[in-house]
Structure 1
Amino acid sequence: MASGQQERAQAAAITPGGQPVDVERAPADRVRGLFDGRRLSPGQRRIAQYLIDHLTEAAFLSITELAERVGVSQPSVTRFATSLGFSGYPALRDALQPLALKAVAGAPEGDENRRNELQAAVDAEIENLENVRRLLADTDRVLDIGRDLARSVPLTVLGLRISVSLAEYFAYAARRIHPDVRLVTRGGSVAYDALLQSRAAGGTWVLAFAMPRHAKETLAAMRAARSAGLRIALITDLTLGPLVDEADVALTAGTGSRLVFDSYAAPGVLAAALLQAMADADPERTQARLEGYEQVAEQHNFFL
């Protein structure tokens, strides 16, 4: 950031992109505004949270002191500042200091900030769920996808790295209503082999989950699926990009990014809605499989 822009940031509390920040907002809220819309790594979120929670002190720390307080390396702090659009940590600190001085002049916020940050994370997830609600207004689209997945025998479910948990949930439930669900949670040649086998067995579709941080091996697996002749349905937080380009159909559900690690309320609800669409696509098969499973569960005393 040029020195003149730094001065304007000090005077008016602007973002590095030049957008003014509401001067009536609390200082901690204005600091949060610097991070909104940014895709930060877990380590970078720790730095951001430290700056929010300790603004009046952190804004005057050297890069060495801040790195030690947060428990990260100095290059990590530099990368964090540049990811926000600043030329480096000194420019970020220059933008934070007038906010810190305003916080000192006002009422202490410390513990309240921490409580409100957790509530803000929930509020962000509520907004993500509202977006899914709007997406599901087009019931025909979701039902069509569910019908295609239900007809694919076998059906392959792909989820790598952080997306494994969503893929496992979907596959676990789908096996109750679908005769052959194959879960792929490892990339590379293992994924390629599983996809080739699925296609050779008569499968036509793959359902892929791709959540941040988006793995290159997910894109490679999707391309392998396409080269094998499989079609791809994708659940992701993205609306554009190579993952979406590779999919035949993409359903978008935002992830909660206010905490150190993402939360997945919206993708989870979207996955459950797609399971419902699969169940509705073949109600007789669904009913028969669910009743059969309940008989087995009762016979073997699976549950309390």
Structure 2
Amino acid sequence: MPSPQQARAQASAITSGKTAPEAEASPTSQLRVLFDGPHLSPGQRRIAQYLIENITEAAFLSITDLAERVGVSQPSVTRFAAAVGFTGYPALREKLQAIALGALAGGPGAEENSSNELQAAVDAEIDNLENLRRDFGDPDQVIAIGRELSRSTPLTILGLRISAALAEYFAYAARRIHPDVRLVTRGGSVAYDALLQSREAGGTWVLAFSMPRHAQETLTAVRVARSAGLRIALVTDLALGPIADAADAVFATGTGSRLVFDSYAAPGVMAAALLQAMTDADPERTQARLEEYEHISDQHQFFLRD
């Protein structure tokens, strides 16, 4: 008999399969596929969003007109074309015109998807969560790293720039169950000091978060930590790349990239799973600390009563 985790993974693999041939993609879907692969900057995503929403008109605009409509510079449009795999804006416009003419001619894909951009963003995050669910069919790495993070005293949590929010969430929760959690959300020499002090105090592991766009200072901080003798567990969106190469354990989860700014449903669940693994690694300490915290929070009325 398969374990519950294996059964869930098998069910996910079955239900995610395609059982019927799909109709040819709509113009909106074709553009989403075209623009989804690269990691685009917020300005480039504004261009992508404008093209998706106005394809039949935008496909015939000059680079000057498109830049003016979106509110970006002409070089930004050129860089966008290169980022999505074209030699320049003329090549991109040729592709856009082919898609737009297909829609205007009423050919295959002229019928637009019923979902709007916000619903499409949610659909993409559901796909990310389904992939994470399949990964959790084998939870051994999560359990093992949770145990190591639990043992590391102090435990350092690193998240710079946009990754700081995930690091703060993890550190806030981890402090309920771990006696010494140190949060690093500033780069440069401040990060170096914190990492070196953590190692001198007996710490063995750093949990780092690196979301797109990946910061050079995150890679530098991870390398400093490694050189100091700390081991690195990394939550990121890419299993390959310089930051992943510098880590001892990598948890790669998809991020939502449908909107101008990324969303992080799957990385958030990944963080919660590591927290769960930490609680399971030392249940007696977990219970004692949570009970003590509940007593203090009641005594000082930290929270409103529901």
Please, what TM-score do these two structures have when normalized by structure 1? 0.88
Residues 166 and 268, structure 1, Cα contact 8 Å, conserved in 2 = yes
**Alignment-derived partner of residue 195 in structure 1:** 195
Letter paired with 2:117: E
CA distance 1:301–1:165, shift in 2 (3 Å): same
Structure 1 gaps of 5+ residues are 1-21
Alignment deviations for residues 109-159 of structure 1 (CA, whole Å, 9 cap, x no partner): 99x769522222111111111121122222222111111000001000000
Partners of 2:37 and 2:273 in 1: CA distance: 27
What is the CA distance between 1:187 and its match in structure 2? Answer: 0.7
**Alignment-derived partner of residue 233 in structure 1:** 233
Partners of 1:230 and 1:87 in 2: CA distance: 43
Aligned residues: 281
**Alignment-derived partner of residue 82 in structure 1:** 82
Q: Secondary structure at the match of 1:102?
A: helix
Please, what TM-score do these two structures have when normalized by structure 2? 0.88
Q: Secondary structure at the match of 1:235?
A: strand
- 1:265 matches 2:269: no
**Alignment-derived partner of residue 155 in structure 1:** 155
CA distance 1:302–1:23, shift in 2 (3 Å): closer
**Alignment-derived partner of residue 253 in structure 2:** 253
Residues 37 and 84, structure 2, Cα contact 8 Å, conserved in 1 = no
Partners of 1:98 and 1:243 in 2: CA distance: 39
Residues 147 and 278, structure 2, Cα contact 8 Å, conserved in 1 = yes
**Alignment-derived partner of residue 99 in structure 2:** 99
Q: Secondary structure at the match of 2:116?
A: helix
Alignment deviations for residues 164-213 of structure 1 (CA, whole Å, 9 cap, x no partner): 00000000000000000000001111000000111111111100001100
**Alignment-derived partner of residue 12 in structure 1:** none
Partners of 1:94 and 1:131 in 2: CA distance: 34
Letter paired with 1:150: S
Residues 53 and 113, structure 1, Cα contact 8 Å, conserved in 2 = no
Q: Secondary structure at the match of 1:256?
A: coil
**Alignment-derived partner of residue 117 in structure 1:** 117
Letter paired with 1:275: L
CA RMSD of aligned residues (A): 1.9
Q: Secondary structure at the match of 1:295?
A: helix
**Alignment-derived partner of residue 293 in structure 1:** 293
What is the CA distance between 1:23 and its match in structure 2? Answer: 8.7
- 1:243 matches 2:239: no
**Alignment-derived partner of residue 276 in structure 1:** 276
Partners of 1:36 and 1:197 in 2: CA distance: 41
**Alignment-derived partner of residue 18 in structure 1:** none
Partners of 1:114 and 1:25 in 2: CA distance: 12
Letter paired with 2:270: L
Alignment deviations for residues 42-72 of structure 1 (CA, whole Å, 9 cap, x no partner): 1111101100100111111111111111111
**Alignment-derived partner of residue 144 in structure 2:** 144
What is the CA distance between 1:91 and its match in structure 2? Answer: 1.4
Partners of 1:25 and 1:140 in 2: CA distance: 39
Counting aligned pairs with the same residue, the percent is 75
Structure 2 gaps of 5+ residues are 1-21
